Amino acid sequence: MKLTLWTYEGPPHVGAMRVATAMKGLHYVLHAPQGDTYADLLFTMIERRNHRPPVTYTTFQARDLGADTANLFKDAAREAFARFRPQAMIVGASCTAELIQDDPGGLAEALALPIPVIPLDLPSYSRKENFGADETFFQIVKVLAKPLPRTEAVSCNLIGPTALGFRHRDDVTEMTRLLGAMGIAVNVCAPLDATPADIARIGAAHFNVLMYPETAETAARHLEKLLGQPFTRIVPIGTHATRDFLAEVATITGLPLPAEAGLRQPWYAASVDSTYLTGKRVFIFGDGTHAIAAARIAAREIGFEVVGLGCYNREQARPLRAAAKTYGIEALVTDDYLEVEAEIARLQPELILGTQMERHIAKRLGIPCAVISAPVHVQDFPARYSPQMGFEGANVIFDTWVHPLVMGLEEHLLTMFREDFEFHDAAGPSHHGAKASARPEALADPAGASGGDISGQKMPEGASGDVIWLADAERELKKIPFFVRGKAKRNTEKFAADKGVTAISIDTLYEAKAHYAR
């Protein structure tokens, strides 16, 4: 038993729904109690889908448990077939139905429907959403994909994009364009917008592009084994990764590399106004794939310092740990939201790149944030084209990450005019909506030192640990622009602790500044 307040991933049957909802001509009959239909709103509200997910819930209630839930399932499956006429059906159980052991697969088989019926076995009490999506897609592919003659021209399948995925819709467009520039056609894209008949055509492609290991790695491995289709290992998020990916595709296909078109990110990062981005401390958390990609972009393409890197899906723990090592940090692999929050509060980064959960943490701690990974909310399904993959994805990422930060010139102004009433900390970046209000005059904190409690709205301004801040030094600390104050505070406290100083004065503050000067 584990106490959970917020979860990064839903149960595995929600992963199966992400596959079913992405596809066309497929129907999911889910043995589930009343109430599990809540999952529909994830798709219709968060993703603004204009269709209900193709899911029939058996909706059993307490009175059915003593009677015949198995017949309830059979009726639901039969009626769903009659009403929706799908090309194929997936059947399975949600967490409660798993306990009553009705065997949806066997029951559906007994109906002898004239279409493929694919049973799913998704253990609800040990696995989660990403596993559910990966396993469901694998089972569909396993049943439907058969060896076929390859297309004459070089072609590939795009595999992995699902419903409710972070920018999957636009990534598919971008990848199709990128591969098209090499003369590679997309044979099938799946699960997103694929029909069961399309899945049956998968074997005609020369290789597979594994876009999201979280949702399609098992299927990719299966297709490699069954059909001899190689698959790409590199996820093309970021300029460097996109180049590596194209090189990988060139190796697989023997085709020449395409010309780079439309890539602006490297010049934007190199231009002088971006100097202020140097060494900004970022904390990165998300699914393994997006977190690893984000860390590479942050460190090597934008010039940030990666101070924290983590993921919530244990399946990606190994590559994530390896990536963290290259930045000289310890990886954080956890699905405990409070643990992530505590780590962010401890590290006091200047930018958080995370999921919608970290956006809430960021809001509470007053730290700028950009979203890089599922789980995401309605605002992460923008109307505009905004992929993460490919060269346009690199451009989008640069803009998205820089936007929440105070802009370069503005930072200089803040430093120059930091005593000015309009440029105090709480004013915030000028390109954001919040109204700048004049600084309250009574800034003085009469207490000699304040506690290190982090339960408040903002970052801790006072002392933490055993070192206390004298009133003068604390006031001086507040004069330091807020985006470097966390670093200054931490460095000063570490310096003080190392020197055995227990009370920080203005002198200690500036001695520490000199000590850490680079």
Residues that bind other proteins (CB under 8 A): 1-7, 9-11, 13-14, 33-42, 44-45, 48-52, 56-62, 64-65, 76, 79, 83, 94-96, 99-100, 123-126, 128, 338, 341, 357, 360-361, 364, 377
Residues 354 and 364 sit within 8 Å (Cβ to Cβ): no
Residues 407 and 271 sit within 8 Å (Cβ to Cβ): no
Nearer to other proteins, 56 or 215 (CB): 56
Q: How near is the Cβ of 2 to other proteins at its closest, in Å?
A: 5
Nearer to other proteins, 60 or 304 (CB): 60
End-to-end CA distance of the chain: 49
Q: How near is the Cβ of 371 to other proteins at its closest, in Å?
A: 14
Nearer to other proteins, 360 or 475 (CB): 360
Nearer to other proteins, 52 or 479 (CB): 52
Number of CB atoms found within 10 A of residue 112's CB = 7
Burial of 349 (0-12, 13-18, 19+ CB in 10 A): buried
Whether a cis peptide bond, with omega within 30° of 0, leads into 266 is no
Mention every residue, 6+ apart, whose C-beta is less than 8 A from residue 375.
Answer: 8, 9, 355, 356, 357
Catalytic residue chosen out of the listed positions 68, 75, 121, 273: 273
Starting from the edge strand earliest in sequence, which strands make up the sheet with 185-190, in order? 185-190, 155-159, 207-210
- DSSP-assigned states of every residue in 438-457: PPPS-----SS-------SS
Backbone dihedral angles phi then psi of residue 455, each to the nearest 5 degrees = -80, -10
Q: How near is the Cβ of 385 to other proteins at its closest, in Å?
A: 21
Nearer to other proteins, 69 or 239 (CB): 69
Q: For this structure, is 273 an active site residue?
A: yes
Q: What are the beta bridge partners of residue 332? A: 310
Q: Measure the CA–CA gap between 509 and 512, rounded to whole angstroms.
A: 5
Q: How near is the Cβ of 416 to other proteins at its closest, in Å?
A: 36
Number of CB atoms found within 10 A of residue 328's CB = 9
Nearer to other proteins, 165 or 238 (CB): 165
> Would you name the residues annotated as active-site residues?
273
